[in-house]
A and B are shown apart, each in its own frame.
Chain A
């Protein structure tokens, strides 16, 4: 149980375009989802906390107008990278939990390459 599905797994886009990444909890309801960014050979950086039915909470230094997060239902959160630039190329991972005492369950990540 507690499966998180993330799509797409890999995307290549041109500079200036927008890319949407979907994160779904398949067998549980997730009122809270987390979006991380991972640079090569580095740890995960929390970008934002996505709460169903309300605005996301962004970490310091993360541009909320560039990284749009929508959590419209208890099983779906989306991250849209707007007007992507090559420096946005990275590995983006979503996660969710079933409760505070539970571990985070992670999607398989999305490798974004902006050319």
Chain B
């Protein structure tokens, strides 16, 4: 079974400082990895994905994430946090369709609440 772990329920960071939201995963075969952001009472918005290729993936709103296969991690980062980045962030994984294993369904982590302090 595939799984995602987001070890931090909450991350607090001062505005202008770099931020990191951690994610590790477990999946059979090669992973497809995603980050989503959710604002209060809204659905999820796609930020970025890793399918293949460069380990450093750049996404929306200045976010990026680094795929580390040996550590099975896909941490979300941003060089300079904004107050408007405060939201709930979800990491998600599913297996590569040609890996012959795992589920095509997306498995989400429990979410990390990011608070950017002015």
Contact = CB atoms under 8 A, between A and B. Distances in A.
A110 B48 CA distance: 24
B49 A103 contact: yes
Contact of A43 (B32, B41, B90, B97): B90
B34 interface: yes
Contacts, number: 47
A20 to B, nearest CB: 18
Contacts of A100: 97, 104
Interface stretch (B22-30, B71-79, B108-116): B108-116
Q: Is the interface of A mostly helix, strand, loop or mixed?
A: strand
Contacts of B51: 101
B83 interface: no
Contacts of B32: 101
Interface in A19-41: 34
Q: Is the interface of B mostly helix, strand, loop or mixed?
A: loop
B110 A93 contact: no
Nearest to B32: A101
Contacts of A34: 105-106
A42 B43 contact: no
A103 B34 contact: yes
B90 A106 contact: no
B46 A109 contact: no
A101 B34 CA distance: 11
A100 B42 CA distance: 24
Interface of B: 32, 34, 36, 41-46, 49, 51, 90, 97, 104-106, 108-111
Given A34-B105, A106-B45, A109-B42, 4 more contacts: A91-B41, A93-B44, A95-B44, A100-B97
